Chains A and B, each alone.
Chain A
Amino acid sequence: MTYIVGNTGKWEYVIGVEVHAQISSKSKMFSPSSTNFAASPNSQVSLIDAAMPGMLPVLNEYCVHQAIKTGLGLKAKINLKSVFDRKNYFYPDLPQGYQISQFYHPIVQDGHLNISTKDGNKNIRINRVHLEQDAGKSIHDQSPCYSFIDLNRSGIGLMEIVTEPDLSSPEETAEFVRKLRMLLRYIGSCDGDMEKGSMRCDANVSVRQFGEPLGTRCEIKNINSIRNIMRAIEFEAIRQVNLIENGQIVRQETRLFDADNGETRTMRLKEESHDYRYFPDPDLLPVVISQTLVDQLALDLPELPDEKIKRYIESYGLNIYDAEVLVADDKIAHYFEEGADLCNPKILANWIISELFGQLNKYSIALSECKITPKMLAKMVKIIEDGDISGKIAKVVFEKMFETGREPKQIIEEQGLVQVSDINILSSIIDDLLVNNPDSVIAYKAGKDKLFGFFVGEVMKKTQGKANPNLVTCLLKEKLQ
């Protein structure tokens, strides 16, 4: 358990999150304008998005499907009948003066997501997933007197994913968001790009001492990265502990996270209107879906992360850490699987994680642009397994593959990198070496163990690094007895 150590004792974190995930549809949820991350303001706004008089919403099927698939991925209950409600409040980036959301009857309820924490596996309960419209963007910092409103984002479909307050530390929360993001990417319902804002996270934070009832919670908004989730929660929890320990009350309020100074502060405008007067939107009818559709969508789901990790551990013998790294991005997992049956999967995993990632990062290349195909990498691994090249030489081959995209066998032959494993040749080189360095031999036999490395090094030099290191070691040991 993670605690805050206050003046009066240990304090628990009690955290729930609300994630707003933009749905990967081409058009908005209730209007046929584009959802692209656009360059020029108000260029993707239809009359419906601008809430012109007489405009009406029509529901995008794709958005409904994505919510169902997300619900299935979260092992939740899919409500075959759900209803859109209006959430009424005034804000300049909300053209209608209400947001179309789902309050009373959301499309998905009661799911869960497993995360791994330092104390083991933990089940985080999902209260609901519902569909709602995104608002436009308000730009406050371009002018001292005015705010500018861009409605490009207004009306984009969102899935709001709400957890129970099951998270007990900033790290757990970060892990949950990471896991959720990975799941959404696998399902394809959201691209999870927090930088672009297609996935946003609000945190509800309260603190309590062990055994005490739940404290008052504050909602923190405006968190745009996983790192900031941790910073925001950390600051807020400590702020609350300090307040309480100083005899003050935590006020239930919405606070904004300031990424520059790592603090949360009260949000003035939204404090007033808490009565949203939710009522069913009379421009829309109940969303009724069939169990057949749900079953069909379930079949369409790809293998989800947890299942994949399990399979990598069981079928490929990977350890959990490597499995998790590979699975974190489904393109990488796909890459791995393309080669995993052609060579030792554990070694392949290692090459991908340590070497491939390293090279991709170094040259800022995406996996899709990489010249090394999975099959090529697998072939190289096989060559190592067969003993034709050493691990060290393999690194050279690998770099050449990365640069040129040539097959490993080609590179090895052209550069004459085949490992020397001929015992006779190696023996002869070693014999020569030992004869030419009698003092070192005597010194070694007298106890200077470090000289072994010198002998190995010399053999390597003589063979341009191509000698099979294990054989060299064996032979040297024999001959030095």
Chain B
Amino acid sequence: MITIEEVKKISKLTKLDFSQEQMLNLAGELTEIMNMINILNELECAEIEPLTSVCDRNQRLRQDGVLSNDISGELFTNLSGDKAELAKEIKCFVVPKVVE
């Protein structure tokens, strides 16, 4: 059973907002999904090695070298909102002030 509390906690972790009603629904839907997933508990699998990738290979290593140049002209073309112009001008991404 996924509770509303858990829904609240997860939604904070992943920066999603839901109304009270939506959270109630979500708790129900997620519970259904988890019920389906819980079939995994039928198997023990203690000795089995988890499979992260079907690729039976190792990470390829790239030679150290600079291939990408200054593309600051292209980085800001997909900005939306009223900060877009400011960002293009100062060539920095603009966000509401972060308080540490």
Contacts and interface: CB of A to CB of B under 8 A. Distances in A.
B100 to A, nearest CB: 6
A59 B66 CA distance: 13
A60 B67 CA distance: 12
Interface string B58-98: 11111111111011100100000001001000111111111
Interface stretch (A175-183, A284-292, A306-314, A443-451): A284-292
Nearest to A43: B70
Does more than half of chain B's interface fall in helix, strand or loop, or is it mixed? loop
B63 A61 contact: yes
A34 B13 CA distance: 33
Contact of A58 (B55, B60, B97): B60
Interface in A254-293: 256, 267-270, 272-273, 275, 277, 280, 282, 284-288
Given A32-B65, A62-B64, A273 B13 contact: yes
A148 interface: yes
Contacts, number: 126
B67 A140 contact: no
Interface in A63-83: 63-64, 83
A90 interface: yes
Contact of B68 (A46, A92, A285): A46
A33 B98 contact: no
A93 B28 CA distance: 35
A285 B57 contact: yes
Interface of A: 25-27, 31-34, 40-47, 50, 58-64, 83, 90-92, 138-140, 143-151, 256, 267-270, 272-273, 275, 277, 280, 282, 284-288
Given A42-B91, A61-B64, A286-B59, 20 more contacts: A26-B64, A27-B66, A31-B68, A32-B67, A33-B67, A41-B91, A43-B72, A43-B91, A91-B98, A145-B97, A147-B97, A150-B92, A267-B100, A268-B100, A272-B12, A273-B13, A280-B52, A285-B57, A285-B58, A288-B59
